[in-house]
A = this chain, B = another copy of it.
Amino acid sequence: MTDPEDRLRDLHLSLPEPPHPIGSYLPAVQAGDLLFLSGTTCYTGNGFLHRGRVGSDLTLEQGQAAARQTAINLMAILRASLGDLRRVVRMVKLNGYVNSAPDFDQQPAVINGASDLLVEIFGEQGRHARAAIGVSDLPGHIPVEIELIVQVRE
């Protein structure tokens, strides 16, 4: 089994402080062995990595970078919730909402920026079910919002 904390070191990734919720909610809530992570942004500690619609304001590559940054923030929330990423049993379900120009239809390619990072960190345990959806706007005009369900050791 892949050790996610070792993998983060191999990837030269250090997790940031988890972003603060921008509303009346918690970053994550556990019920049984499922941890539900809130819809998360590409916040960087210095504003959002990008703002705007993918396919008009932003390129596909910028959307993918935003999705990857969002996944890094989800991992920060996950570690803050669990203490140690080794408590993850597996990634279960990821939903990615892409702020899309009217005729942009490559939402799966955008969200791969997040999905691929989960597999880089967790190996087979990082593979997950997913939905990728195009939406007309998102909080703060962010390009991507991602939520995640993770199975954890109790």
Question: Chain A: residues with CB nearer than 8 A to chain B?
Answer: 21-29, 31-34, 36-39, 89-95, 97, 99-100, 102-109, 111-112, 115-116, 119, 127-141, 145, 147, 149, 151
Contact = CB atoms under 8 A, between A and B. Distances in A.
A145 B116 contact: no
Contact of A23 (B22, B100, B115): B115
Contact of A137 (B89, B102, B139, B145): B102
A121 to B, nearest CB: 13
B23 A112 contact: yes
Contacts of A103: 137, 141
Contact of A129 (B27, B91, B97, B145): B27
Given A129-B28, A145-B131, A108 B22 contact: yes
A139 B38 contact: no
A107 to B, nearest CB: 5
A22 B131 CA distance: 11
Contacts of A95: 39, 131, 147
